[in-house]
Amino acid sequence: MFMNVKIDIIHDDDNNKYESFYCNICEYPLISENDFTAYTEFKCCNECYLTFAEARKAAWKKGWRPKQNVIDNYVKNRKKLYCKLGEESEF
């Protein structure tokens, strides 16, 4: 079961920096240290970084992003993977 709850943190400092706990590409929550590290530089989770940004670092930093239909297919496949893993889990 996937929840569509978003939590955003707004820092009350001089920069008024806006932070999110969700990937800007797949909208999955940032969970691991690797997710937050990738988000700091690439504004995406580690999975999206490895899938889309790592091979295109220069283009990514210039603003390239995958087409929406590619992202939609990626999220759909990722959800299927997690659902299958959940069915096989002991927990």
The pLDDT tens digits of the residues spanning 21-44 come to 999 999 999 999 999 999 999 999
| 1 assigned to some structural domain | no
Neighbouring CB atoms inside 10 A of 55's CB total 9
User: What does the pLDDT read at residue 79?
Assistant: 87
| 3 assigned to some structural domain | no
This prediction has a pTM of 0.72
Place 10 in a pLDDT band, splitting at 50, 70 and 90.
Answer: low
Residue 17: CA count within 13 A, CB half-sphere: 7
Q: Does the pLDDT of residue 47 top 60, yes or no?
A: yes
| 71 assigned to some structural domain | yes
pLDDT digits (tens, 9 = 90+) for 54-65: 999 999 999 999
- The type of residue at 86 is G
**Alpha helix stretches (DSSP H) within the chain:** 33-42, 46-48, 57-61, 68-88
> From residue 7, how far is each of 19, 20, 30 by CA, in Å?
9, 7, 11
What domain count does the chain have? 1
Q: What backbone torsions phi and psi does residue 25 show, to the nearest 5 degrees?
A: -95, -60
| 20 assigned to some structural domain | yes
| 42 assigned to some structural domain | yes
| 2 assigned to some structural domain | no
| 34 assigned to some structural domain | yes
Q: Which residue range(s) make up the domain with 13?
A: 8-88
